[in-house]
Amino acid sequence: MSAISSDILAFSFDGLSSPAIDLKFRKGPQKGEHTLGWGLAWYPADNKAAIVAKDPSARDTQSLRGAMEDWDAFRSTVFFCKVRGAASGYTHLETQPFSRSFAGQDWLFMHNGDLDKMAMKKLHFNKSIFLEPMGRTDSELAFCFLLGKIQDYGARTLADVDHQILLSWFLQLDDMGSADMVISDGTTVAAFYGSQSETHLYYNRISPPHSAGGFEADAASFTVDNPRDTFRTALVFSSAPFRQGDWKPMQKGQLIIARRGQVAWTNKKDAPKLQPQQIVHEKDGHLQGVVVPPSVSRGLTGRPFADQQAQAQQLSILQSLQQMKNVQHNVLNVRSLTHTPDGSPLTYRLYDVVHSTEYEYENEVEHSTHSFRLMPVEDSGQEVLNSTLSLSSEGESMRFEDVFGNQTIHYSIIKPYKKLVVSCRSLVKIFGQPIDDMSQDKRQPFLPLTMMPWQQVMMEPYLRSPELPETQIRELMVYAMSFAERNARHLMDTLNDINLSIYRDFRYVPGATTVKSTPFDVYAMREGVCQDFANLFICLARLLGVPARYRVGYIFTGANYENKIQSDASHAWVEIYIPYLGWRGFDPTNGCRVTQDHVRVAAGRNYLDATPTAGTIYRGGGKETLRVQVTMNEVFQ
């Protein structure tokens, strides 16, 4: 272990932030020429040039605190901090963090520990005149070695380097001593904890609401109390655990790659924790929820495509077709596909869904009109074998397809009633589909999407963000861009990240919101129900220029638990339109993609366009009592 004690602290925020950081000197002897040192580095306004402030012979950090309070430029997504214990002969050249311009941007580096300098000099074989160390430390040699490897690899950023390759470079340094290291190109932060380290390295993801008291440790303290940073999240690395928060120790030889406040990759993961799934049902016009135990399987396997006789018949037909010469057969109908390109079987699942809504009034209702969107949609991936809607009161009905393609029934009742029961029973097949192929150019795997003029016209309702104050839209834009930037603007990675982040970071709290709650309300509170999470996802996608719509339907959760009737219930999720691919579903309430567990019913720009039941009472009624019950059972043939 190094005779010089030192502490490192690194931040990766999801958006521009200005944390109040106070570095501390560990108590210890300080004699003769021995001095303490500190260093701080960041990227003002998130640009490519870093600012590095250092004091190699300090008595305290008062000057650092004063500088941070005075500089308006102290806003960044990446911060590096280092405190060095008492030592002699250190100058600015040997004081960390180190900064070096490379590939059109400044790179930052910190190291805790001792490496074999003689072995390091042999390892650093890159002879570039731009990668020569200026100081005399083993740490700067390690920095130049990593940059040389990145240059030889042909990369310009850390995101360009394969994760396993980057890990192998750190492991080479790990063989030469204690190697706790953190490196950044201004966007990505990579932290490595050496297998021979005698110190510690911890990490924690902090998210709003932030405690006014901040975080306190022996090595440093920090708070995220700037009003502009109310909704910021960050991944923080520290050689000392803070007394507040859930700080996890890194494992020996672990590499964590962070980008915009999120773990992008790590070679060693914590043991997964089973979390209860939150499933929803309707109550008083709002989608509510129940908790499903983690023992419930959410697998996507279903019943066989048909019984053995049907399979044999299909196989015979297929073989006869393949025997036809000079004819190329390409199956385009999704329902006709029985296997993926790699030969894996595709199965369908059959569900029996009953949705019952009961209205009861204090006084007789003399005249009312209603709209019902309860019948599942029929398309290439979903087949409705039967769907029947029944009402307890006579009236005039008109069935039509609305502008969003929903099967809708307009119902007018002119005979008095005090109780109205609306029941819809549907038998639905959900077909398995191959994994989407995003390799084709027109499907545009990266943001921003480019659409033809007529596509933009047709998608305009699904691209318009909600009417919110400009300050709220700006804050949501920063949040949306954090997902795009930390995923290198990859479309599907960005969408999956949003989906999982809402599931992980937002609490499911029935009654915390109303149908009037905005996406910003949900973002600020970090809680809500499924329709709130869908609305927030839709808003973020549209701010990124990706068409998104609201979908209502049902989700199947299995039967291995109590209260099955209320857990298989009405649900809401998001559908994203990808050019030359179509609409694809994302379920942020459960953090999963929409596959064969979901039955699709109605869609629209928002909840009002797709609400299952709606109506107006013109005369009578009084106090209303509403009861909704949904049952969903899988049918095995």
Residues of the chain with CATH 3.60.20.10: 6-266
**Regarding predicted confidence, which is higher, 173 or 337?**
173
Indicate whether 419 pLDDT > 80: yes
Which has more confidence, 382 or 321?
A: 382
The pLDDT of residue 482 is: 95
Q: What is the dihedral of CA 369, 374, 378, 384, to 10 degrees?
A: -120
Q: In the chain, where does the domain assigned CATH 2.60.40.2250 lie? A: 349-431+614-635
Q: How far apart are CA 110 and CA 576, in angstroms?
A: 41
* DSSP state at residue 460: G
Residue 300 has a pLDDT of 30
Dig out the tokens for 369 from the structure. 């009109």
Q: Kindly tell me if the per-residue pLDDT of 558 is higher than 60.
A: yes
pLDDT at 156 over 50: yes
Q: What is the mean pLDDT of residues 11-33?
A: 77
Handedness of CA 509, 515, 521, 522 (dihedral sign): positive
The separation between CA 356 and the C-alpha centre of its own chain, rounded to angstroms, equals: 34
Task: Work out the number of other CB atoms within 10 angstroms of the CB of residue 183.
Answer: 26
Number of other CB atoms surrounding residue 363 within 10 Å: 12
Instruction: Please tell me the distance from the alpha carbon of residue 36 to that of residue 441, in angstroms, as a whole number.
Output: 56
Whole-number Å distance between alpha carbons of 268 and 247:
16
pLDDT for 529 beyond 80: yes
Q: Look at residue 273 and tell me whether its pLDDT is greater than 70.
A: no
Q: Which CATH architecture has domain 349-431+614-635?
A: Sandwich (2.60)
Q: Are strands 407-413 and 417-431 parallel, antiparallel or unpaired?
A: unpaired
pLDDT at 324: 42
CATH of domain 6-266: 3.60.20.10
For residue 612, cis peptide bond before it (omega within 30 degrees of 0)? no
Q: How many CB atoms lie within 10 A of CB 463?
A: 18
CATH number for the 441-609 domain, one of 3.10.620.30, 3.30.470.20, 3.40.50.2300, 3.40.640.10? 3.10.620.30
Residues sharing a CB contact under 8 Å with residue 545, sequence separation 6 or more, in sequence order: 447, 448, 449, 463
Distance CA 57, CA 95 (A): 10
Tell me the pLDDT tens digit for each residue of 38-85.
Answer: 899 999 988 899 999 888 877 666 666 666 665 566 899 999 999 876
Per-residue pLDDT for 628 more than 60?
yes
Confidence band of 619 (pLDDT split at 50, 70, 90): confident
Average pLDDT, the chain: 84
pLDDT at 330 over 70: no
| Interval 503-510 mean pLDDT | 94
Q: What's the pLDDT score for residue 337?
A: 75
Higher pLDDT, 570 or 590: 590
Average pLDDT value for residue range 329-352: 76
HSE-up of 197 (CA within 13 Å, CB side)? 26
Q: What is the pLDDT of residue 146?
A: 94
pLDDT at residue 247, as a whole number: 94
Q: DSSP assignment of 81-121, as one string?
A: EEEEEEESS--TTTSSSEEEEETTEEEEEEEES-B-HHHHH
Region of poorest pLDDT, from 86-90, 312-316, 507-511 = 312-316
**Per-residue pLDDT at 581 exceeds 70:** yes
The mean pLDDT of 440-449, rounded to a whole number, is 90
- Nearby residues of 13 by Cβ (< 8 Å), 6 or more positions away: 76, 77, 78, 79, 232, 233, 234, 260, 261
Strands of the sheet with 180-184, listed across from one edge: 98-102, 105-112, 180-184, 188-193, 254-259, 263-266
Single-letter residue type at 583: W
Is the Cβ–Cβ distance between 557 and 567 less than 8 Å?
yes
Instruction: Specify the pLDDT at position 332.
Output: 60
CA atoms within 13 A on the CB side of 580: 13
The DSSP H or E segment spanning 349 is strand 348-372
What's the mean pLDDT in 233-259? Answer: 94
What residue spans in the chain does CATH classification 3.10.620.30 cover?
Answer: 441-609
CA dihedral for 619, 620, 626, 629, sign (positive or negative): negative
Percentage of the chain with pLDDT > 90?
Answer: 61
How far apart (Å, rounded) are the C-alpha atoms in residues 16 and 45?
7
Q: Do strands 507-508 and 527-528 pair parallel, antiparallel, or not at all (unpaired)?
A: parallel
Contact call for residues 156 and 103 (beta carbons, < 8 A): yes
pLDDT tier, 347 (very low <50, low <70, confident <90, very high otherwise)? confident
**pLDDT of amino acid 426:** 96
User: pLDDT band at 279, cuts 50/70/90?
Assistant: very low
Q: How far is CA 534 from CA 50, 180, 440, 526, in A?
A: 38, 41, 28, 13
Read off the pLDDT band of 283 (50, 70, 90): very low
* Region 374-394 average pLDDT: 93
